[in-house]
C-alpha cells in the first residue's frame, strides 16, 4: 500500500510537471566513473593553472578509474588523481597506511603545486616514503604534503599531538607563497615550533605555513570545553584576510573574543584573521538545535562566501533567515564583507532536505554550489525532482546572490555532489558519490561496490529556460502572446523553423507575428564572457484569429469595433473593471481594450488618447521620431524647449516622462522590455502620438 510520503511525492511530481519552467539548463558534457568493491568517498576537487583537475578521495581495498586501478594498504586509504579538462586520466596514486586514513581538502597554488592534508595513524606511505607519526603510539596525526607540478612529493610535514587524535584538515593558499591549514585537535598539539593547547575535548585550529619550506608561521586555537572544529578555510589572494568557519558548542574562545551557543547546542562560528593571525571579527550563526554543515570560500573581490545547511528559525549575527524546510535543512548561501558585514543571506529549498557541501566562483564572480536534496526541491522557480531519494545538484547564482540555474544529477540510490570547481574557461565540474546506478547525460553507470564516485563536466553557459512553461503552445493569429527567456544577458538570437529572425535581440519574442501553421521557436543566449547555449525548441501552433480591435469615440463614449466578445478596458495601464463593448470616458488618459472571442483568441487594440487631442498640423509635420524600430534609444526632433514626451507600454502604463531642454531629445529605451510603445508628445496646446517598436 502506498505510504503517505509516496502519495505526496506523486502529487508533487504532477504539480512540478504542470508548473515548472522548460528546463534547458547547462547539460553534462562528459563524465567519469570511479569506484572499488566497497565504499568510496569524494572529498576534494581543484583546478590548476594549467586548467587540469586535481581530485582526492577515500577508497577501501582498491579503486578503478577507466582501465587504471590501484590497491590500498589498509582499511581506508587516500587516492589522488589528475584529470584533463576533456576527461582523460593523467595521473593516479594512493597514500595511506595500515589503519583508517582520511582527507578533506586539497588546493593548487599559482605555480601548479598541489597541497593535500590527510589524517593517518602511526605510519603512512606518501610518495614512496614511509612517514611516521609524532610518537610510537601517536594516534591520528595530520600530514601536510606538497606535490610539485611533475607529481613528485616536495615535502611532507606532520602536525598533531603525541598522545591524542586529530581530524582531517581543510586547506587554502594565497598567491604570495603561503598555505593555510584548519581543522581540529585534542590535548597539546605541535605545529612545527608552535604549540597550541585545547581547552576541552577538542578544539579548532588555523595555521599559516610557508609554502616553500613547510615552516609554520603561526598557529591559533579556538574552542571551549566541548567538541569544536574548523570545517572551512579560505584566504584572499594577497593573504590579508584568512577566513574560517566551523562548529562550536557552549562557550568558546578565540584569543580574547568569546561566543555562546544557543542552549549549549552546536552553532556555527564565522571569523577572519589578519595576515599575522590577529582576530579581525567573529560571528555566531545557528538555530536552537544542532547545526553541523558549513563551509566557505573567497570570491573574486575578497569577500567570504559560505554554504551549508540552514534550519529554522536561524539567525546570522542577529539577522534572521527565512527557511522553508519542515524539520529539514535548506541550502544556505551567505556573503560576508572583509570587515564582517553581511552582504547577502539567503536560503533555497522546499520542505525536504537541501544541503550545500562545496562553494566556489568563476572568473566573473558567479557563485557555484554543490550539494544534495531530498525528493523535491525548488531553487527559485526551477523545480528539481530526484530520481529516487537523495540526489545531487549544482547551483549557479549571480554575484548578487540571485538564482541563475540549477542542475540535478542522481540515480536509484542516495547521491550527492560533494565538490564543485570551475576552470579558467568558466566550465563547471562536479565530483560526487552515488549508490546503485546513476545516469549522467547519455551514460549510465552501475556501482561496483556499495558507494562509487563520479566526475562530470557541465557546459559553460546561461539559463535557457523559457516561459510559458510548455513544450507546445497554441496561439491565435495576430495575438500578443510572447515567449520569454531569462532577462539580463547581453545577446539573444531567436530562431523560427531553424532560421534566425532579424532584429529579435531581446529576451522576449512576440509570437503574434507568426503566420497560421506550426512553427519551431528557440533562442540562443550568449552570456558575459562569451559562453552561449540554445534553448529547447517550442512547437507553436498558430490558428486563425480575430481582426484587430479598433476604438472609436462618439462624444463621451468609447466603442470597440468587435461585437459579441469579452472585453477588458484599461486606462493609463490600470484595469477599469469595464467589460462591455462600449464604455463612458472616465477622464483624460490613454485607453486600450483587450478583446477575447468565443474561441479563446485575444487581441489588443491600439491606444486612443482622450484629453487635449487637437493636432496642430504644423506641429505634427515638424516632429520626427527615429530610428523606428529601435534596439536602444530613439530621437525626437522638431520640437521646442518645454515639450513633454510621455512613453506608454501596451497596457497604457506610463514608463517614462521627459521634458525637452532642446529641439532634439533622446528617449532612452535600452532598459525597457521589447515591444510596442506609444509616445505622447505635447507642446502645451496640442498632442500627437507616435508608436515605436523596441526590439
Task: Indicate the domain borders of the chain.
Answer: 36-166, 466-542, 551-610, 617-694
Residue 105 has pLDDT above 70, yes or no: yes
What residues form DSSP beta bridges with 209? 179, 216
Host H or E run for residue 562: none
Percent of the chain with pLDDT over 90: 68
Q: What is the pLDDT of residue 136?
A: 64
Q: Is the pLDDT of residue 8 over 50?
A: no
What is the model's pLDDT at position 590?
84
What local confidence, expressed as pLDDT, does residue 25 receive?
77
Q: Is the pLDDT of residue 560 over 70?
A: yes
More confident call, 497 vs 637 = 497
d(CA 356, CA 309): 6
Mean pLDDT of 107-122: 95
> Per mean pLDDT, which range of 169-178, 519-528, 617-626 is the poorest?
617-626
Sequence-ordered alpha helix ranges (H) in 539-660? 617-622
Residues in Cβ contact with 546 at an 8 Å cutoff, skipping those fewer than 6 apart: 476, 478, 562, 565, 595, 597, 601, 603
| Predicted confidence (pLDDT) per residue in 326-381, tens digit | 789 999 999 999 999 999 999 999 899 999 999 999 999 999 999 999 998 988 87
> Which pLDDT score is estimated for 650?
75
Chain centroid to CA 72: 37
- Cell numbers 550539494: residue: 371
What is the rounded distance in angstroms from the CA atom of residue 194 to the CA atom of residue 184?
15
What's the CA gap between 632 and 667, in Å, rounded?
Answer: 9
Please, what is the end-to-end C-alpha distance for the chain in angstroms? 56
Q: What is the pLDDT of residue 593?
A: 94
Higher pLDDT, 673 or 187: 187
Distance CA 72, CA 70 (A): 7
pLDDT for position 339: 96
List the beta strands (DSSP E) in 424-516: 428-434, 437-440, 443-446, 452-458, 466-467, 472-476, 482-485, 491-496, 499-500, 508-510
Q: What is the pTM of this model?
A: 0.84
* Mean pLDDT on 495-500: 96
Domains 466-542 and 617-694 fall in the same CATH topology: yes
Judging by DSSP bridges, how do beta strands 472-476 and 538-543 pair with one another? parallel
pLDDT band of residue 15 (cuts 50, 70, 90) is very low
Q: Please answer whether residues 626 and 651 qualify as being in contact, where contact means their C-beta atoms are separated by less than 8 angstroms.
A: no
Four-way CATH pick for 617-694: 2.60.40.3080, 2.60.40.10, 2.40.50.140, 2.60.260.20? 2.60.40.3080
SS (H, E, C) 76-142: EEEEEEEECCCCCEEEEEEEECCCECEEEEEEECCCCCEEEEEEEECEEEECCEEEECCCCCCCEEE
Q: In Å, how far are 46, 107, 154, 167, 349 from 214, measured between CA atoms?
A: 21, 15, 10, 20, 42
Cell of 295: 563551509
Distance separating alpha carbons of residues 450 and 60, to the nearest angstrom = 11
pLDDT at 487: 87
Given this model, what pLDDT does residue 137 score? 64
What integer best gives the mean pLDDT of the chain? 90
How much of the chain is in helix, strand and coil states, percent to nearest 5? 5, 55, 40
Average pLDDT over residues 200-211: 94
Under DSSP, is residue 364 helix (H, G, I), strand (E, B) or coil?
coil
Whole-angstrom Cα distance, residue 357 to residue 268? 15
Return the CATH fold of 466-542.
Immunoglobulin-like (2.60.40)
**Residue, of 395 and 325, whose pLDDT is higher:** 395
Residue 22 has pLDDT above 50, yes or no: no
> How far is the CA of 605 from the CAs of 10, 81, 245, 550, in angstroms?
44, 65, 60, 6
pLDDT digits (tens, 9 = 90+) for 574-595: 899 999 999 999 988 889 999 9
Long-range (24+ apart) CB contacts under 8 A made by 636-642 are 636/660, 636/664, 636/665, 636/667, 636/679, 636/681, 637/663, 637/664, 637/665, 638/663, 639/663, 639/664, 639/665, 639/681, 639/683, 640/683, 642/683, 642/684
Q: What digits encode the pLDDT tens for the residues 244-253?
A: 999 999 999 9
Interval 613-648: pLDDT, tens: 444 555 667 888 888 888 788 999 889 888 999 898
Percent of the chain with pLDDT over 70: 95
Mean pLDDT in residue range 20-32: 75
- Around Cβ 111, how many Cβ atoms within 10 Å? 12
Q: Does position 609 have pLDDT exceeding 80, yes or no? A: yes
pLDDT band at 688 (very low <50, low <70, confident <90, very high): confident
Could you read off the pLDDT of 275-286 as tens digits, one per residue? 999 999 999 999
Asked whether residue 23 carries a pLDDT value surpassing 80, the answer given is no
What 3 state SS string does 224-292 have? ECCECEEEEEEECCCCCCEEEEEEEECEEEECCEEEECHHHCEEEEEEEECCCCCEEEEEEEECCCCCC
Give tens-digit pLDDT for 479-495: 878 899 998 899 999 99
Could you tell me if 256 and 303 are in contact, meaning their C-beta atoms sit under 8 angstroms apart?
no
**Three-class secondary structure of residue 16 per DSSP:** helix
Helix (H) or strand (E) run with residue 195 in it: strand 194-197
Amino acid at each position: 500500500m502506498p505510504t503517505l510520503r509516496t502519495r505526496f511525492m506523486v502529487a508533487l511530481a504532477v504539480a512540478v510537471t504542470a508548473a515548472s519552467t522548460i528546463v534547458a539548463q547547462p547539460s553534462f558534457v562528459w563524465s567519469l566513473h570511479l569506484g572499488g568493491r566497497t565504499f568510496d568517498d569524494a572529498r576534494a576537487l581543484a583546478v590548476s593553472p594549467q586548467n587540469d583537475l586535481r581530485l582526492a578521495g577515500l577508497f577501501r581495498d582498491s579503486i578503478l578509474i577507466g582501465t587504471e586501478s590501484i590497491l590500498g594498504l589498509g582499511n581506508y586509504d587516500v587516492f589522488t588523481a589528475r584529470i584533463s579538462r576533456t576527461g582523460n586520466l593523467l595521473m593516479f596514486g594512493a597514500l595511506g597506511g595500515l589503519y583508517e586514513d582520511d582527507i578533506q581538502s586539497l588546493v593548487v597554488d599559482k605555480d601548479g603545486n598541489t597541497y593535500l592534508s590527510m589524517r593517518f595513524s602511526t605510519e603512512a606511505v606518501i610518495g614512496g616514503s614511509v612517514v611516521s607519526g609524532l610518537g610510537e603510539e601517536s594516534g591520528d596525526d595530520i600530514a601536510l604534503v606538497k606535490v610539485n607540478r611533475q607529481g613528485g612529493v616536495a615535502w611532507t610535514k606532520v602536525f598533531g599531538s603525541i598522545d591524542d587524535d586529530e581530524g582531517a584538515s581543510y586547506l587554502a593558499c594565497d598567491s604570495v607563497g603561503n598555505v593555510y591549514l584548519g581543522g581540529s585537535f585534542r590535548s597539546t598539539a605541535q605545529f612545527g615550533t608552535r604549540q597550541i593547547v585545547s581547552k576541552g575535548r577538542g578544539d579548532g585550529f588555523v595555521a599559516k605555513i610557508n609554502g616553500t619550506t613547510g615552516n609554520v608561521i603561526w598557529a591559533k586555537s579556538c574552542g571551549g570545553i566541548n567538541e569544536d572544529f574548523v570545517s572551512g578555510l579560505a584566504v584572499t589572494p594577497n593573504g590579508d584576510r584568512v577566513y574560517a568557519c566551523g562548529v562550536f558548542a557552549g562557550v568558546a574562545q578565540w584569543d580574547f573574543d568569546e561566543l555562546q551557543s544557543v542552549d549549549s547546542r552546536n552553532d556555527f562560528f564565522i571569523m577572519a584573521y589578519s595576515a599575522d593571525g590577529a582576530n579581525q571579527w567573529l560571528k555566531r550563526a545557528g538555530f536552537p538545535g544542532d547545526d553541523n554543515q558549513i563551509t566557505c570560500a573567497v570570491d573574486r573581490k575578497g569577500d567570504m562566501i559560505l554554504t551549508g545547511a540552514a534550519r529554522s528559525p536561524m539567525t546570522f549575527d542577529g539577522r534572521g533567515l527565512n527557511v522553508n524546510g519542515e524539520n529539514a535543512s535548506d541550502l544556505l548561501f551567505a556573503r560576508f564583507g572583509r570587515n564582517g558585514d553581511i552582504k547577502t543571506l539567503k536560503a533555497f529549498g522546499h520542505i525536504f532536505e537541501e544541503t550545500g557541501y562545496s562553494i566556489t566562483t568563476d572568473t566573473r564572480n558567479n557563485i557555484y554550489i554543490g550539494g544534495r536534496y531530498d525528493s523535491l526541491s525548488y531553487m527559485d522557480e526551477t523545480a528539481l525532482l530526484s530520481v529516487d531519494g537523495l540526489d545531487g545538484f549544482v547551483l549557479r547564482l549571480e554575484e548578487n546572490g540571485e538564482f541563475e540555474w540549477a542542475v540535478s544529477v542522481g540515480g536509484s540510490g542516495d547521491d550527492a555532489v560533494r565538490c564543485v570547481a570551475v576552470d579558467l574557461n568558466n566550465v563547471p565540474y562536479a565530483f560526487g558519490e552515488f549508490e546503485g546506478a546513476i545516469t549522467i547525460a547519455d551514460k549510465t553507470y552501475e556501482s561496483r561496490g556499495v558507494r562509487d564516485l563520479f566526475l562530470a563536466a557541465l557546459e559553460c553557459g546561461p539559463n535557457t529556460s523559457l516561459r510559458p512553461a510548455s513544450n507546445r503552445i497554441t496561439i491565435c493569429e495576430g495575438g500578443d502572446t510572447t515567449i520569454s527567456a531569462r532577462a539580463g544577458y547581453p545577446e539573444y538570437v531567436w530562431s523560427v523553423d531553424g532560421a534566425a529572425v532579424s532584429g529579435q535581440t531581446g529576451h522576449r519574442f512576440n509570437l503574434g507575428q507568426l503566420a497560421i501553421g506550426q512553427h519551431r521557436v528557440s533562442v540562443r543566449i550568449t552570456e558575459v564572457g562569451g559562453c552561449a547555449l540554445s534553448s529547447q525548441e517550442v512547437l507553436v501552433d498558430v490558428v486563425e484569429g480575430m481582426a484587430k480591435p479598433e476604438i472609436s469615440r462618439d462624444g463621451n463614449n468609447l466603442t470597440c469595433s468587435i461585437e459579441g466578445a469579452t472585453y477588458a478596458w484599461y486606462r493609463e495601464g490600470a484595469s477599469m473593471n469595464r467589460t462591455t463593448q462600449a464604455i463612458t470616458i472616465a477622464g483624460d488618459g490613454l485607453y486600450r481594450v483587450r478583446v477575447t472571442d468565443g474561441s479563446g483568441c485575444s487581441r489588443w487594440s491600439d491606444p486612443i488618447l482622450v484629453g487635449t487631442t487637437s493636432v496642430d498640423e504644423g506641429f505634427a509635420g515638424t516632429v520626427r521620431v527615429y530610428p523606428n524600430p529601435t534596439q536602444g534609444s530613439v530621437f525626437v526632433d522638431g520640437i521646442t524647449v518645454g515639450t513633454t514626451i510621455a512613453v506608454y507600454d501596451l497596457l497604457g502604463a506610463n514608463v517614462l516622462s521627459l521634458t525637452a531642454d532642446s529641439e532634439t531629445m533622446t528617449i532612452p529605451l535600452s532598459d525597457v522590455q521589447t515591444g510596442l510603445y506609444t509616445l505622447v508628445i505635447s507642446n502645451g496646446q496640442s498632442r500627437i502620438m507616435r508608436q515605436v517598436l523596441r526590439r
